[in-house]
Structure 1
Amino acid sequence: MTIDAKDRRILTATQAGLPLAPRPFAVVGEWIGMDEAEVIARIERMMGDGVIRRIGAATNHYALGMLANGMSVWDVEDARAEDLGEQIGALDFVTHCYLRPRALPDWPYNLFAMIHGPDRVAVETRRAEIAAILGAACRENDILYSTRILKKTGMRLAKEGRPCSG
């Protein structure tokens, strides 16, 4: 998993986002002096090598009318957590779903699922759908509602190429 100077130029040029253009990689290529095919090939290689995990949109849920956003947390039997987590993550209203270790005795939850909706009633309805899927495998749950949007950015490269917060 090594990158060269050309890879670094691509990462630096795209770390704030891709240009909104019909051929964004051609525009990136113009910015850094490469043709579109080379930019695409290098990005594909970096994805295959795990340097880039994914390319995706960071949406503003409030602007999309999703005014209630809650991280639902669940204490699920460990033996069933992975299978149930896959089912929950496949729901169209869950945008993030992952397993994390518990922090006992204060934090018994091991399954996390982000739910968005136009209001809290809709989010609570969706939370009830998750509870029905988890059934008796879930011992306890809660939900933590967002009160504001935090800055959404990916990794940033420092001038020397070291990761820095962004």
Structure 2
Amino acid sequence: MTLDLTDRRIITATQSGLPLVPRPYAQIAADLGLDEDEVCTRMRALQTSGIIRRIAVAPNHYALGMTANGMSVWDVDDTRIAELGQKIGDLDFVSHCYERPRALPDWPYNLFAMIHGTSREEVEALRAEVAAILGDACRGNDILYSTRILKKTGLRLRQKG
């Protein structure tokens, strides 16, 4: 699917979130000078094509008391990473789960999972749950704790000049 100017305008209008009004798509349509049905149809097409992955609520985990956040990193057997990565990604306390290439010899980790908790002790207990799921397919792990938020948004399209 190729994005046209209208698709780009819709993405730009929604990339920071939907307006908090009773009919957000009608508001977006009005702001862009479009029909509400066209906005909805285009957003469904963007989602079907994979350009928009999902439309969902994204709570601020800090405001909810989830202030201990750690990116856990795991050295997982390559033959099992797809299966085990899916299991880890399905855990309620994991918000992001990725497979990444190793950077040997210094960085042996190929599975990354962001774990959220109310304290480091809770995150460590949750990390132990992940370790139990990975079992002997995991050869090592570490965790990198967040110390401050530098950016709290997803990808943003730039306006064409």
Paired letter, 1:121: E
How far did 1:27 drift? 0.7
User: When the two structures are superposed, what TM-score results if normalisation uses the length of structure 2?
Assistant: 0.92
Aligned counterparts of 1:34 and 1:17: Cα–Cα separation in 2: 18
- Amino acid across the alignment from 1:158: R
- TM-score (normalizing by structure 1): 0.89
Structure 1 segment 1-20 matched on structure 2, within 5 A: 1-20=1-20
Aligned to 2:110: 110
Give secondary structure in 2 for the equivalent of 1:101. Answer: coil
Task: Report the CA distance between 1:91 and its aligned residue.
Answer: 1.0
Q: CA deviation at 1:18?
A: 1.3
SS at match of 2:159: coil
Structure 2: how far apart are the matches of 1:20 and 1:113?
31
Report the equivalent of 1:158. 158
CA distance in 2, matches of 1:159, 1:91: 36
Q: Deviations over 1:31-65 (max 9, x none)?
A: 01112211010111122223323333443221110
Match of 1:121 in 2: 121
Alignment map for 1:1-166 (pairs within 5 Å)? 1-160=1-160
Alpha-carbon distance in structure 2 between the residues aligned to 1:84 and 1:15: 31
Gaps of 5+ in 2: none
For these two proteins, the number of residue pairs brought into alignment is: 161
SS in 2 for 1:72: strand
Question: Which amino acid letter does the alignment assign opposite residue 65 of structure 2?
Answer: G
**Unaligned regions of 5+ residues in structure 1, if any?**
162-166
Point out 4+ residue stretches in structure 1 off by more than 4 angstroms. Answer: none
Deviates more, 1:33-42 or 1:146-155: 146-155
Amino acid at match of 1:87: K
SS for the counterpart of 1:106 is: coil
User: Partner amino acid for 2:43?
Assistant: I
In 2, Cα distance between equivalents of 1:105 and 1:139? 14
Query: Partners of 1:115 and 1:105 in 2: how far apart?
Result: 25
Q: Residue 68 of structure 1: CA displacement?
A: 0.3
One-letter code aligned to 2:99: L
